[in-house]
Amino acid sequence: MLFYVLKRIIYICCILVVMSMLVFAITQILPGNVARMILGQFATEESIRAIEEKLRLNDPLVVQYWRWASSLLSGDLGESLIMEHPIAPLLSTALKRSAILAFMSFFFVTVVGIGLGVVAALKQNRPTDHAVSIFTYLGISVPEFFWGIVVIIFLARYIDWLPSSGYEPLSAGFWNWLSHLILPVATLTFALIAHVSRLTRSCMLETLRSPYVTAARAKGLPERVVLVRHALRNALLPTITILAVDLGWLFGGVVVVETVFAFPGLGRLLMFSIERHDLPLMQVSLLLITAVYSLSNLVADLLYTYFNPKIRYERSAD
Amino acid sequence: MSRRGVPLNLIAGGAIVAVIVTAAIIGPIIAPYPYDEFHANARFQPPNPPYWFGTDEFGRDIFSRVLTGTRLSLFIGVLATAISLVLGIPLGLVAGYYRGRIDEMIMRTMDLFMSFPPIILGLLILAVTPPSIWKTSGAVGLVYVPIMVRLIRSVTLDLMEEEFILAARARGERTIYILASEILPNAWPPIIVEGSLRITFAILLGAALSFLGMGAQPPSSDWGLMISAARPYLLIAPWIALAPGLAMCIAVIGINLVGDGLREILDPRLRHRWRA
């Protein structure tokens, strides 16, 4: 098991290195004249030369990459072009805020998603089941930014104690902090519940039909014990896979939801850097988001392997 | 859930998709107003004739804009899916057929691309060049190539076990022939099902990219762009955002239903209908 974990960690490190090359190649090599891309089409010759000086864009590409990669590794994340401010503190604040969003959403997706799935399984084919089905189906039929918009329109209009944008740190008061999180978290959660609850529902249905559940009931165990300790435990295994996929997906969805709710997290920072052509910030943000995504996929993979002893070798590419 | 053998899904979904496709094709012609025509004296009108979905901040008719936008969203969805198939099918076939080193290489590369969250990969590709709808379609297509490769590779792997493939190889047929005329024709059912569902994902991803400013540009009436532009006016004129959103919802649900229906028809036949 330990060997497997080590192998996966090494694999992830390789992926990160290649990823950094890819990010660098696409953002700094592909556009051709990087200075012109940063400054826009109406830049003067002078300002182009100034930027080229500053970013040392005339060095051979490999040298540029090496310089960038080695300074990243030594902890120097560079400086934002637009804000003229070191990137590292910007990133760490943004990352913390996005992490709060992501983890809260993940928590609710797990709890509510599994809960709804179980309820739907228990009341199979009755109105409750169909209601849950439709409710979750809506969540995946429309892009999450639209749900954010809908939520803002209806909730913020009629319930004005829920702010629809921005962020307050904990130091400004617990409710203040929480109220800014509620809408973005709700939007993210709604978008992801469908898969989790559908899978939980079908797994529960299968498990409930199995011999050992019948045996448990025949033993005279209270229904609750049968459900939780026997049925649910076994039904949850495939759900972990989906949750793993969702965790990764959250990091993509976070970009859009943060834009809708003007939430100052990593996604918003990334969009800012793209809109303003802030190359250093863009590169590091992209790399960071992707690294976090890979790491969370790794954690999910490892958790799944831990819970399912049948799978101890590499994921089959199927 | 069937009527005369055709799933209900397919009928309902098919009806919706037919409407959408019609709107895409003749939309700009039957639209009551050009999508970019200002009506300065009728700004922020709520839905009422003659502006069925109301007007926006420039007085443009939302109904016409949604109608013309159908074409754009469908375009991105279909083109992106087509790109992912054109690139994914050959790669998947080759990986599944040859196995070994080539398979490893291809799948490792696909794994690398799948290590990026989809939106991020799209943003990465589009961030460094002036945006356009063609580029957005291309980026979304590229994002979905790995998934297609995986699917086709696994279908190919399954098919390689069949006797008629063995027979073809024993006959000494060339690889290209085997791939194109023996394997591919039998691989269509899962490709069709996956492809149709992929179109919905492509539409949603394309809309997200347009929403973020990386897709269609103003004054285009792409649905994602419309929703993004509607943000300052959400509280005074919510219809500007709701109309395109609802249109997207209906389109995606329709295509999903068709995909589900297709899967119901094609799945049982997957295992039993080989063309030898």
pLDDT tens figures, A89-135: 888 888 888 888 888 888 898 888 888 888 888 877 788 878 887 77
Nearest chain B Cα to A158, which residue? B235
State the Cα–Cα distance between residues A158 and A154, nearest whole angstrom. 6
State the Cα–Cα distance between residues A240 and A231, nearest whole angstrom. 15
Nearest-Cα distance to chain B for A77, in Å, is 19
Distances in Å between the alpha carbon of A291 and those of A248, A268, A282, B126?
11, 17, 14, 20
Count of positions (residues) in chain B? 276
Give the per-residue pLDDT at B271: 46
- Cβ of A275 within 8 Å of Cβ of B248? The answer is no
Cβ-count burial B184-223 (b if 16+ within 10 Å, e if not): bebbebbbebbbbbbbbbbbbbbbbbbbbbbbbeeebbbb
* CB of B60 less than 8 A from some CB of A: no
- Cβ of A27 within 8 Å of Cβ of B154? The answer is no
State the Cα–Cα distance between residues B127 and A285, nearest whole angstrom. 13
pLDDT tens figures, B188-247: 888 888 888 899 889 989 998 999 888 888 888 889 899 988 888 888 888 888 889 999
Q: Which of A43-47, A169-173, A268-272, A276-280 bottoms out in mean pLDDT, i.e. has the lowest?
A: A169-173
Nearest chain A Cα to B150, which residue? A318
Residue B273 pLDDT level (bands cut at 50, 70, 90): very low
The torsion angle over the Cα atoms of residues A65, A69, A72 and A74, rounded to 10 degrees, is -130
Average pLDDT over residues A61-69: 80
Cβ-count burial B99-124 (b if 16+ within 10 Å, e if not): eeeebeebbeebeebbbbbbbbbbbb
Q: Is the pLDDT of residue B69 over 50?
A: yes
Nearest-Cα distance to chain B for A128, in Å, is 20
pLDDT tens figures, B94-113: 888 888 889 989 998 898 88
Q: Is the pLDDT of residue A236 over 80?
A: no
Give the per-residue pLDDT at A30: 65
Q: Is the pLDDT of residue B2 over 50?
A: no
Q: What percent of chain A has pLDDT over 70?
A: 89
- Cβ of B120 within 8 Å of Cβ of A289? The answer is yes
Question: Which residues in chain A are closer than 8 Å to B150, comparing Cβ atoms?
Answer: 317-318
* CB of B202 less than 8 A from some CB of A: no
Disruptive mutation site among B212, B233, B242 for chain A (greatest number of A CBs within 10 Å): B212
Higher pLDDT, B188 or B141: B141
- Cβ of B245 within 8 Å of Cβ of A317? The answer is no
Nearest chain A Cα to B122, which residue? A252
Closest Cβ–Cβ partner in A30, A271, A297 for B212: A271
Record the tokens describing residue B218, joined without a space. 């103003």
Give the per-residue pLDDT at A254: 84
Question: Which residues in chain B are closer than 8 Å to A259, comparing Cβ atoms?
Answer: 211-212
Q: Is the pLDDT of residue A176 over 80?
A: no
Nearest-Cα distance to chain A for B103, in Å, is 10
Please name which of B123, B121, B127 lies closest in space to residue A277, comparing C-alpha atoms.
B127
User: Around A291, how many Cα atoms within 13 Å sit in the side-chain half-sphere?
Assistant: 16
Question: Which residues in chain B are closer than 8 Å to A143, comparing Cβ atoms?
Answer: 204, 207-208, 211, 224, 248
The torsion angle over the Cα atoms of residues A173, A177, A179 and A180, rounded to 10 degrees, is 140
Residue A84 region by backbone torsions, left for phi larger than 0, else alpha for psi between -120 and 50, else beta: left
DSSP conformation letters of B216-268: S-TT---HHHHHHHTGGGTTT-THHHHHHHHHHHHHHHHHHHHHHHHHHHHHH
H-type alpha helices, chain A? 2-24, 34-39, 45-55, 61-73, 87-122, 127-141, 144-151, 157-158, 174-208, 211-218, 223-225, 233-260, 266-275, 279-307
Nearest-Cα distance to chain B for A111, in Å, is 24
Question: Which residues in chain B are closer than 8 Å to A98, comparing Cβ atoms?
Answer: none
Residue B3 pLDDT level (bands cut at 50, 70, 90): very low
Disruptive mutation site among A138, A149, A159, A183 for chain B (greatest number of B CBs within 10 Å): A149
CB proximity list for A81: less than 8 A, separation 6 or greater: A38, A276, A277, A278, A279, A280, A281
Closest Cβ–Cβ partner in B128, B211, B242 for A30: B128
Give the per-residue pLDDT at A315: 46
Please name which of B276, B272, B275, B271 lies closest in space to residue B155, comparing C-alpha atoms.
B271
Average pLDDT over residues B12-25: 86
Give the per-residue pLDDT at A170: 67
Q: Is the pLDDT of residue B276 over 50?
A: no
State the Cα–Cα distance between residues B19 and B211, nearest whole angstrom. 24
* CB of B124 less than 8 A from some CB of A: yes
State the Cα–Cα distance between residues B57 and B52, nearest whole angstrom. 16
Neighbours of A224 (CB within 10 A): 8
Question: Which residues in chain B are closer than 8 Å to A22, comparing Cβ atoms?
Answer: 112, 124
Disruptive mutation site among A142, A247, A279 for chain B (greatest number of B CBs within 10 Å): A142
State the Cα–Cα distance between residues A24 and A37, nearest whole angstrom. 14
Distances in Å between the alpha carbon of B150 and those of A317, B103, B114?
7, 11, 11
Q: Is the pLDDT of residue A55 over 60?
A: yes
Calculate the CA A55 to chain-centre distance: 31
State the Cα–Cα distance between residues A136 and A133, nearest whole angstrom. 5
H-type alpha helices, chain B? 8-30, 62-98, 100-114, 118-126, 133-160, 163-171, 175-177, 184-211, 223-229, 239-272
Give the per-residue pLDDT at A308: 66
Nearest chain B Cα to A268, which residue? B212
- Cβ of B211 within 8 Å of Cβ of A141? The answer is no
User: What does the angle CA A295 – CA B136 – CA B58 come to, to the nearest 5 degrees?
Assistant: 120
CB proximity list for B137: less than 8 A, separation 6 or greater: B75, B76, B79, B80, B83, B206
CB proximity list for B168: less than 8 A, separation 6 or greater: B177, B178, B182
Closest Cβ–Cβ partner in B127, B211, B249 for A256: B211
Give the per-residue pLDDT at A318: 39
Q: What percent of chain B has pLDDT over 90?
A: 13
ipTM exceeding the 0.85 mark: no
Please name which of A114, A238, A151 lies closest in space to residue B241, comparing C-alpha atoms.
A151
User: Around A218, how many Cα atoms within 13 Å sit in the side-chain half-sphere?
Assistant: 6
Nearest chain B Cα to A31, which residue? B128
